[in-house]
Amino acid sequence: MKKMNVVRVLKKIPFWILLMAFMVSALIPFLYMLATAMTPQAYTLPYPPILFPQSLYLNNFVEAWSSNHFSDYFLNSVYVSVLSTVLIILVSSLAGYGFARMNFPGKNVLFHLLMFSMMVPTLTNLVSQFLLIKNMKLMDTYLGLILTYLGTGIAANTFFLRSCFLSIPHALEESVVIDGGSHWTIWFHIVMPLSAPAVGTFAIMAFSNVWDEFLYALTIIKSPNKRTLPIALKMFQGQNLNNWSLIFAASIIALLPILFVYIIMQKQLIRGGIMDGMLKG
């Protein structure tokens, strides 16, 4: 028995080495950014590269946060990203549930039309989306920007969640139907809780996409006080030229919300086998 366990461990060593290599390759750029951000006035990139800061110099973060309304742009992005993510999850999960668990006339035709829209490049839709938002008089408003984010990825988001919802056994819904439960009850109390790992992954992707989005924010938002963080970072880099310590400090601040969302959702990501044994007995 011990020999078999040793053999299993030895077989996993190449896999662990590969994971360690990926981890190191991902950490090195981040450590380099962090060390440079803690270097006073680094007008040239440190060479040879440094991976660990020589001191806990935090003035660059304070200066980046307080300069050029950076904090206001940060809060604007938090507002737009959180609201957009909530609406994207709500609309996409309802659409995915409808295509996965309900029958209605024209269901397959509508679903294939929705999938066909995924073949159209995003940039191709920019002009038509711009004209639509303009005709709706939603230019230079967060509502127009949020609706654009909501509609841009609705097809891919619906397809992703529909595939997840199809894996849930229909037998789990029978008791709810017998007790007089509606589709709203099934969606809220059965489908969404059982799909928590997929929804958690989806929430991270949706938030990251909205948080980092630049093109639509630049096209729709015109007022300086309404700008989001990606636009602010481009302006910040142009204004500070080669002051890499400030640029990297601002970039790290911009990464924090994504890390925060990942930390919140990680418990959902590691949940596995939630349906194991539910239909037994």
pLDDT at 276 over 50: no
Tell me the mean pLDDT in the region 109-136.
87
pLDDT in tens, 46-65: 767 777 877 788 888 998 89
Tell me the mean pLDDT in the region 169-185.
79
Higher pLDDT, 272 or 149: 149
pLDDT tier at 274, thresholds 50, 70, 90: very low
Q: Quote the CA–CA distance of 34 and 36 in Å, as a whole number.
A: 5
Q: Quote the CA–CA distance of 146 and 141 in Å, as a whole number.
A: 9
Nearest Cα residue to 172 out of 157, 193, 158 = 193
Q: What is the pLDDT of residue 281?
A: 41
Q: What is the pLDDT of residue 280?
A: 44
Provide the CB-side half-sphere exposure for 26 (13 A, CA): 6
Mean pLDDT across the chain: 84
Q: Residue 165: how many CB atoms within 10 A of its CB? A: 21
Q: What is the pLDDT of residue 265?
A: 80
Burial of 235: CB neighbours in 10 Å, binned 0-12, 13-18, 19+: middle
Q: What is the pLDDT of residue 273?
A: 45
Give domain limits for the chain: 14-57, 62-269
Q: What is the pLDDT of residue 241?
A: 72
CATH number belonging to the domain at 62-269, selected among 1.10.1740.10, 3.40.190.10, 1.10.3720.10, 1.10.10.10? 1.10.3720.10
Tell me the mean pLDDT in the region 218-222.
91
Q: Quote the CA–CA distance of 226 and 138 in Å, as a whole number.
A: 13
Tell me the mean pLDDT in the region 94-106.
89
pLDDT at 2 over 70: no
> What type of residue is 53?
P
Q: What is the pLDDT of residue 142?
A: 94
Which residues touch 147 (CB under 8 Å, ≥6 apart)? 133, 138
pLDDT at 87 over 80: yes
Instruction: Name the least confident of 189-193, 205-209, 269-273.
Output: 269-273
Q: What is the DSSP string of the chain?
A: -HHHHHHHHHHHHHHHHHHHHHHHHHHHHHHHHHHHHTSTT-SS--SS--SS-SS---HHHHHHHHSTTHHHHHHHHHHHHHHHHHHHHHHHHHHHHHHHH---TTHHHHHHHHHHGGGS-TGGGHHHHHHHHHHTT-TTSHHHHHHHHHHHTHHHHHHHHHHHHHTS-THHHHHHHHTT--HHHHIIIIIHHHTHHHHHHHHHHHHHHHHH--HHHHHH--SGGG--HHHHHHHHHHHHTT-HHHHHHHHHHHHHHHHHHHHHHHHHHT---TTTTTT--
Nearest Cα residue to 60 out of 246, 236, 242, 241 = 246
Q: What is the pLDDT of residue 140?
A: 93
pLDDT in tens, 224-245: 899 999 998 888 877 777 788 8
pLDDT at 126 over 60: yes
Instruction: Name the least confident of 82-96, 143-157, 256-270.
Output: 256-270
Query: Two tokens at 157?
Result: 């988001």
pLDDT in tens, 8-49: 777 788 888 898 988 888 888 888 888 888 888 766 777 677
Q: Looking only at Cα atoms, what is the longest distance across the chain?
A: 73
Q: What is the pLDDT of residue 84?
A: 95
